[in-house]
A = this chain, B = another copy of it.
Amino acid sequence: MITTKIKKEIIMIVGENNYEDSPASKLVYSFDATPQFQAMPDAVVSPRNKEEIAQIVKLCNSHQIPIVPRGSGTNLSAGTTPLEGGIVLLFKHLDQILEIDEENLTITVQPGVNTLEMSQAVEEIGLFYPPDPSSMKISQIGGNINENSGGLRGLKYGVTRDYVLGLEIVLPNGSIIRTGGKLAKDVAGYDLTRLFVGSEGTLGIITEATLKLIPKPETKKTVLALYQSMDAAAQSVSNIIANRVIPATLEFLDQPTLKVVEDFSKIGLPTHVEAVLLIEQDGPIESVLKDIEKIVTICKEHGAIEVNMAQSAEEAEKLSTARRSALSALARLKPTTILEDATVPRSEIANMVRAINEIAAKHNVEICTFGHAGDGNLHPTCMTDARDTEEIHRVELALQEIFEKAVSLGGTITGEHGVGAMKAPYLHLKLGEEGIAAMQGIKQAFDPNNIMNPSKIFPKSTRKRIVVNQP
C-alpha cells in the first residue's frame, strides 16, 4: 500500500508531474494487450533517470511495494498487469538512442525507445537490427528485452536475446550494475545479460542496453506458396531447411486466418486454399536468387498448387504487412481474441497443426492458426467472448490440451510471448517442479521481498483475476 507519506517521498524523487494516481490513469495501466487480466495499480510513476529508479526501488523494497516495469504493454501473457497493485513504472523519460557505433556495430539505447524507430534509425545507415516482433510499431525495446521478443525473422537471425550485448540494471536492492559491453566475447562470470533478457521484469529494472547490429542484407525476395493440404505445407517447411536453406522468414497461415486477413487488408490474398507459406530470403542477390529457386522447387515438389514471387518490393511489403496484421484482423471477429504461442521442433509442425484442429473440434471452440513455421512457433488464436463463461471454460480446456501436446512433441508452452501471469499455471508442464524450483531460487536471490513484478512466471494463489470485456 502506498501511504500518503510514501506518496510524498516518491514525488520528492520524480517530481509531481511524474506521479499519477487518478482513477483514470490507474485504469489505463490496469491491463495490457492480454485479454482477461486486469488489476489496478496504486500509482503510475515515470522516473527521469536511473538514479531516480534506484531511489524508487530502494523505497519500494523497504515497504514491500510491487513495481511493474512497463514498456508499451503490447505483451500477450499478462506480463505487465499490476496484479498485486503497487507502482507501474514507465520509461517515457528514458527514450533516447544514446549512440550508434559504426565501428563496433552496436547501438546503445534507453529502454523507452520505440522498436520500429530504432530499426529504422539503423537501417538508414546500412545496418540492421533483426528482431521484429509483430508489435514493433508500438513496442519499446525495454519491453522487448524483458520479454525476449521474437518475431518473423527468428529462424535465420534469432531473437532479442541474440542481440543484447550489455545491460545496465537497477537491482531490487537498489544497486546499479552493468553487464557485458561492446564485446563479441565475454565470459567474466555468469551470463547475467542473458539471464535478464526474458526475465519479464521480475529480477530488476533495465535502464540501458547495448545491442548488436549486423550489416543490412543487400536484397530481399518474397514468395507465396499455396497449398490445399496443411501437411503438404508443413512438409515443405521441413524440407526447405533439411535442404540446407535457411530463409529469413517462413510464415504459415491457415485458411481461416487467410480469409480474415484478406477481409481486413484487401490485397488479393488467396482465400480458396487450405494454407499458405509466406517465405522471404535476404542477403546478396546471387545467393537470394539461388535460394529462392531451391525454395520454389521444393514447395512444388511437396504439393504446392501455386508458387508466386512478389514482382516488386511494394507487393512484398504488402504481403508482409498483411501477415503482421493477423492479430488485428482476427481481433475484429469476436469480443475476445486469445492469441496463443505454442512452439514445437519444426519437424513436428504438421502434427501440431493437426492436433490443434482436433482439439478445437473436440471442445467446440473456434481456433485459427498462423505463425512462424520455420521456428515451429505457432500462434493458435481463439476467437471467443470473455462474457460467455461456459465457452471460456471450454477455451481454457482446449488451450491446456494444446500446451500439453506441444510439450509432448518436444516443444514449449511459450516460444516468444513469455510466461507472465497467463502461462504461469502451465509452466510445470515444460519445466517440472525441479526446474521451477531452480528458477525460484534465482528469483529469491535477486528479489527476496518479491517486489519486482510479482505473480508473474511463478503462479501465486493470491493473484487477482478479473475477467473483463475486451474489444
Interface residues of A in 167-197 (CB under 8 A from B): 171, 175-179, 181-192, 194-195, 197
Stretch at the interface among A28-36, A40-48, A296-304, A427-435: A427-435
A124 at the binding interface (Cβ < 8 Å): no
Stretch at the interface among A55-63, A281-289, A328-336: A281-289
Contact of A375 among B155, B185, B192, B439 (CB under 8 A): B185
Known contacts A376-B184, A412-B181, A419-B187; A435/B347 CB under 8 A: no
Stretch at the interface among A239-247, A262-270, A463-471: A239-247
Most central of A178, A182, A416 by chain B CB within 10 Å? A182
Contact with B along A346-362 (1 / 0, CB 8 A): 11000000000000000
**CB nearest to A243 among chain B residues:** B215
Interface residues of A in 427-457 (CB under 8 A from B): 427, 430-432, 434-439, 441-446, 457
Known contacts A187-B418, A197-B191; A105/B241 CB under 8 A: yes
Min CB–CB distance A443 → chain B (angstroms) = 8
- A443 to B442 Cα, complex, angstroms: 9
Known contacts A184-B154, A238-B103, A346-B104; A215/B245 CB under 8 A: yes
- A416 to B171 Cα, complex, angstroms: 27
Q: Is the CB of B183 within 8 A of A159?
A: no
Instruction: Tell me which residues across on chain B come within 8 A of A238, comparing CB atoms.
Output: 103
In the complex this chain forms, how many copies of it are found?
Answer: 2
Contact of A194 among B181, B195, B375, B437 (CB under 8 A): B195
Instruction: Tell me which residues across on chain B come within 8 A of A103, comparing CB atoms.
Output: 238, 241-242, 345-347
Instruction: Tell me which residues across on chain B come within 8 A of A245, comparing CB atoms.
Output: 215
Min CB–CB distance A21 → chain B (angstroms) = 32
**CB nearest to A175 among chain B residues:** B434
Q: Is the CB of B414 within 8 A of A187?
A: yes
Q: Is the CB of A345 within 8 A of B187?
A: no
Total count of chain A residues near the partner, CB < 8 A: 93
Instruction: Tell me which residues across on chain B come within 8 A of A203, comparing CB atoms.
Output: 190
A369 at the binding interface (Cβ < 8 Å): no
Known contacts A190-B439, A215-B244, A438-B192; A416/B185 CB under 8 A: yes
Min CB–CB distance A368 → chain B (angstroms) = 20
Contact with B along A241-273 (1 / 0, CB 8 A): 110111000000000000000000000000000
A411 at the binding interface (Cβ < 8 Å): yes
**CB nearest to A416 among chain B residues:** B185
Q: Is the CB of B435 within 8 A of A446?
A: no
Min CB–CB distance A31 → chain B (angstroms) = 21
- A244 to B214 Cα, complex, angstroms: 8
**CB nearest to A182 among chain B residues:** B345
Q: Is the CB of A191 within 8 A of B195?
A: yes
Q: Is the CB of A154 within 8 A of B377?
A: no
Known contacts A181-B410, A412-B183, A457-B189; A441/B446 CB under 8 A: yes
Q: Is the CB of B438 within 8 A of A187?
A: no
Q: Is the CB of B188 within 8 A of A195?
A: no
A374 at the binding interface (Cβ < 8 Å): yes
A73 at the binding interface (Cβ < 8 Å): no
Instruction: Tell me which residues across on chain B come within 8 A of A161, comparing CB atoms.
Output: 191, 194
Q: Is the CB of B442 within 8 A of A343?
A: no
Q: Is the CB of A345 within 8 A of B181?
A: yes
Min CB–CB distance A70 → chain B (angstroms) = 18
Instruction: Tell me which residues across on chain B come within 8 A of A154, comparing CB atoms.
Output: 184-185
Q: Is the CB of A171 within 8 A of B246?
A: no
**CB nearest to A161 among chain B residues:** B191
**CB nearest to A244 among chain B residues:** B215
Instruction: Tell me which residues across on chain B come within 8 A of A411, comparing CB atoms.
Output: 181, 183
Interface residues of A in 78-106 (CB under 8 A from B): 101-106
A66 at the binding interface (Cβ < 8 Å): no
Min CB–CB distance A453 → chain B (angstroms) = 13
A415 at the binding interface (Cβ < 8 Å): yes
Instruction: Tell me which residues across on chain B come within 8 A of A190, comparing CB atoms.
Output: 195, 198-199, 203, 439, 442-443, 457
**CB nearest to A429 among chain B residues:** B188
5 additional contacts, CB 8 Å, given A103-B345, A177-B438?
A106-B345, A190-B198, A190-B439, A216-B244, A444-B445
Residue contacts A-B, CB under 8 angstroms, 8 given: A183-B410, A184-B377, A185-B416, A189-B457, A190-B203, A195-B442, A215-B244, A284-B290
